[in-house]
Amino acid sequence: MVDSFQKLNREVCRCVRCPRLVHFRETVESKPIYNDETYWRKPVPGFGDHQAWLLLLGLAPAPHGGNRTGRPFTGDLSGDFLIRCLYNQGFANQPTSRQWDDGLELIGCYMTPAVKCVPPLHKPTPQEFYNCAEYLHREIYLLKNLRCILALGRAAFDAYLRFLRGQGVTTTGVKFKHGAIIEFEGWPSLAASYHPTPRNVNTGTLTKEMFEELLKKLKENNFSTQRRRGAKTQWK
């Protein structure tokens, strides 16, 4: 399995399918506080536990977060919020995510962006989502113990729904709402959270209590119960 992830991640890091994103990721102007650092400026592969039952799905790397450090939710305020909550709920070995080599390990979870390159204005085009979808789909299939996908924001939520529809799964009537958990027979459940952007956190749209309560609920509903049921999965 490790070899399969390494092969996929090498392909991700070499990807040049989207000219607009290639140009943008390579020309993001460095912040003065990071002048002594070399920006990653490549697609950002997923990271975490290859035995994960939970996949945290974001939108795309941040210009001075993942695009700088080479790891999702690392080196920015969104990562600070997310990793602290994961640590508090036993999903991470430390409460911070600052650099790719800072010793962070995830426990029972994996995190990845739906679009692997940083997009202008945080807005990938539909074609860019499509171009990148293959990588997300392969990650889902490689995570053999996957039980739930926690979508951070509507765009990530919709990305998983598109994957399911591509497998012939009906998603009619499924709507994004923070805290929602939708089950699909034979496929990982889908949970929804507001994205931990600084704006959402600063305005109280998403609080630490809200997010950690959702993580607790997922541990109860999707880890212990589904594994005890021995539910058959179609993606293995």
| In-domain check, residue 187 | yes
Q: Are 235 and 146 in contact (CB under 8 A)?
A: yes
Alpha carbon distance 114, 55 (integer Å): 11
pLDDT of residue 234: 58
Its domain, for residue 45, covers 2-229
Residue at 196 is within a domain:
yes
Q: Give whole-number Cα distances, 23 to 17, 29, 70, 205, 220, in Å.
A: 11, 12, 17, 33, 43
Task: Please write the tens of the pLDDT for every residue from 172-204.
Answer: 999 999 999 999 999 999 999 999 999 999 999
236: in domain: no
**Local structure of residue 224 (DSSP, 8 states):** I
CA distances from 132 to 44, 112, 178, 179 (A): 11, 12, 25, 26
Position 235 in a domain: no
Using CA atoms of 211, 212, 213, 215 in order, give the dihedral in degrees to the nearest 10: 90
Smallest CA-to-CA distance from 66 within 94, 33, 100 is with 100
Number of domains in the chain: 1
Tell me, what CATH number does 108's domain have? 3.40.470.10
pTM: 0.93
When the pLDDT of each residue in the chain is averaged and rounded to a whole number, the result is 93
* Confidence at residue 232, expressed as pLDDT on a 0 to 100 scale: 46
What 9-12 contacts at long range (C-beta under 8 Å, 24+ apart), as own/partner pairs, is: 9/45, 9/46, 11/135, 12/43, 12/44, 12/45, 12/116, 12/135
Any domain includes 53: yes
Q: Is residue 234 part of a domain?
A: no
Q: Count of CB atoms within 10 A of residue 185's CB?
A: 9
Q: What are the tens digits of pLDDT across the range 100-153?
A: 999 999 999 999 999 999 999 999 999 999 999 999 999 999 999 999 999 999
Q: Is residue 8 part of a domain?
A: yes
Mode of pairing for the β-strands spanning 187-193 and 47-48: unpaired
Strand order in the sheet with 187-193: 47-48, 109-113, 54-58, 148-152, 187-193, 181-184
Residue type, 88: N
Q: Does a structural domain hold residue 81?
A: yes
Is residue 57 a contact partner of residue 86, using CB atoms and an 8 Å limit? no
